[in-house]
Amino acid sequence: MIPWLEPGDPFPPVERALASPNGLLAATATVTEARLLDAYRRGIFPWYSEGEPVLWWSPDPRMVLFTDELRISRSLRKRARAVARDTALQVAVDRDFVGTMHACARPRRDQDGTWITEDMVASYSGLHRRGLAHSVELWSNGDCVGGLYGVALGRMFYGESMFSRQADASKIALVALVALLRREGGPVIDCQQKTSHLASLGAREISRAEFCALVARAVEAPSMDWPRYVGRPINDLLLTE
């Protein structure tokens, strides 16, 4: 059994999360900005299906991508450099955060629904307005063809979801994000759970204890300078990878 949390109730220690399903920790009726911020600071994230209670997770082990371990294939590197020099393509930060969330929410071929509900969009958009959630997008002739979004606290970035409408578009956004984080001293992207796609890009699993210790240090560091990158193309970052 997991605890049902009322508004104001604290999360239980992450060590109390279930082993099966791995990391399930607690449930709530709603998701709020305050609850999200408290969760991320503790190494916890929400994941649930529409119509279900909000389920909160802290799996062990945890999938992360250290920014100095990004693995770029020769073909992806070639593509990134081509994007960097193509005036019809622009990599942007926070040009359309809500649109990026909605694009990520569209069901994949192997999915019946989405966990990115309208309540989630509203809560993360609130964090975005406070400068605590960001998107990185790839634009082609004025259309967003791929991107990702996540939460940024201190020097920590928590990746949430990504989408592509064009080959390699989300990978290009990820390469740009990693370059931005390296420049700003961000050591890691939380990837939450293991996938072969993320592993192919250099992500790996670490223990929950190691992850939570990393989070505790990173969230207390000075915030990254996100406004520096908003409002201008950041294609040049692709040339640093």
Residues 105 and 202 reside in one and the same domain: yes
Residue at 4 is within a domain: no
Is residue 143 within 8 A of residue 84, CB to CB? The reply is no
Q: Say what percent of the chain tops pLDDT 90.
A: 93
Q: Give the CA-trace dihedral at 165, 169, 173, 175, to 10 degrees.
A: 160
DSSP 145: E
Q: Which of 236, 220, 225, 212 is nearest to 59 (CA)?
A: 212
Residues 49 and 83 reside in one and the same domain: no
CATH code of the domain containing 42: 3.30.70.3550
Q: Which residues contact 168 (CB under 8 A, 6 or more apart)?
A: 76, 79, 146
Cα–Cα distance measured from residue 82 to residue 89, given in angstroms and rounded to the nearest whole number: 9
Q: Which of 157, 85, 131, 145 is nearest to 226 (CA)?
A: 131
CATH code of the domain containing 209: 3.40.630.70
Cα–Cα distance measured from residue 235 to residue 241, given in angstroms and rounded to the nearest whole number: 11
Residues 218 and 132 reside in one and the same domain: yes
Residues 166 and 70 reside in one and the same domain: yes
Residues 53 and 70 reside in one and the same domain: no
Residue at 9 is within a domain: no
Hey, what amino acid is at 125? S
- Per-residue pLDDT tens digits for 205-230: 999 999 999 999 999 999 999 999 99
Which of 6, 39, 59 marks a domain boundary?
59
Residues 202 and 180 reside in one and the same domain: yes
In this structure, is the dihedral angle defined by the CA atoms of residues 70, 115, 110 and 168, taken in order, positive or negative? negative
Predicted confidence band of residue 132 (pLDDT cuts 50, 70, 90): very high
Q: How far apart are the first and last CA of the chain?
A: 46
Which of 27, 42, 59 marks a domain boundary?
59
Residues 48 and 109 reside in one and the same domain: no
Whole-number pLDDT of residue 111:
52
Predicted confidence band of residue 146 (pLDDT cuts 50, 70, 90): very high
User: Omega before 21 cis (within 30°)?
Assistant: yes
Residues 92 and 30 reside in one and the same domain: no
Cα–Cα distance measured from residue 34 to residue 137, given in angstroms and rounded to the nearest whole number: 26
Q: How many domains does the chain have?
A: 2
Residues 89 and 189 reside in one and the same domain: yes
Residues 202 and 89 reside in one and the same domain: yes
Residues 25 and 117 reside in one and the same domain: no
For residue 31, give its domain range: 14-59
| Bridge partners, residue 162, by sequence | 148
- Per-residue pLDDT tens digits for 80-101: 999 999 999 999 999 999 999 9
Residue at 2 is within a domain: no
> How is residue 51 written in tokens?
């119509």
Average pLDDT of the chain, as a whole number? 95
pTM of the model: 0.95
Residues 179 and 226 reside in one and the same domain: yes
Whole-number pLDDT of residue 108:
64
Flag whether pLDDT at 37 surpasses 90.
yes
